[in-house]
A and B are shown apart, each in its own frame.
Chain A
Amino acid sequence: DQQVKQNSPSLSVQEGRISILNCDYTNSMFDYFLWYKKYPAEGPTFLISISSIKDKNEDGRFTVFLNKSAKHLSLHIVPSQPGDSAVYFCAATRVYSGAGSYQLTFGKGTKLSVIP
């Protein structure tokens, strides 16, 4: 049972345009969401995150939007650059009571290709 879904395996966008990557989740206990970027044969790198108390978080060209009622989040990249070409993973977690690590549940990823 996939709790975090990225339904688009791939996305192609022209350089300079907006890239929109989508993510849906089914577990209503999730309250923190992260986006990771991954190049081939490398580990993922953290990009941006959002807490369930917010509906938007911006960091430079990257903005994440959260719609809790729809259990949907999206990552916007504006403007898109060829260096943004990578696989983007959506991840979700929930706060544990007390100290402890936070397990991330990942989607399958969306491969973004930015065409020069």
Chain B
Amino acid sequence: DGGITQSPKYLFRKEGQNVTLSCEQNLNHDAMYWYRQDPGQGLRLIYYSQIVNDFQKGDIAEGYSVSREKKESFPLTVTSAQKNPTAFYLCASSFDTSYEQYFGPGTRLTVT
């Protein structure tokens, strides 16, 4: 059953701690993306990766870091430098020749 998994669904952290959000896909997609959604806002691109061991900053990369060591996995680390980390985080993937991105179920991160 192909798809994108994000874990956990809900995550709570204390301010000042780094936290890593997981994203795994078994769709054999080349490209992967991380978005952030805030209430009443659209999806804003944090980072994206077209191939293994390569990634690019999106519109709001400050305070975040990523890695792409495997085609299937694209974890996102929310660092303590991110000023407003509480949000709904969405991972997506696509073939590198396709406009259509497939999204995971999301992780809601709450930092207090």
Contact = CB atoms under 8 A, between A and B. Distances in A.
Contact of B43 (A42, A44, A101, A102): A44
A106 interface: yes
A109 B90 CA distance: 15
- Binding site of B, secondary structure by majority: helix, strand, loop or mixed? strand
Contact of A46 (B44, B101, B105): B101
**What interface size band does chain A fall in?**
20 to 34
A70 interface: no
Contacts, number: 68
Contacts of B43: 44, 89, 104, 106
A106 to B, nearest CB: 4
Interface in B66-112: 88, 90, 92, 94, 96-106, 108
Interface residues of B, number: 33
A108 to B, nearest CB: 4
Given A43-B103, A93-B99, A103 B90 contact: no
B90 A43 contact: yes
Contact of A106 (B4, B42, B98, B106): B42
B97 A99 contact: yes
Interface centre among A32, A36, A44, A49 (most CB of B within 10 A): A44
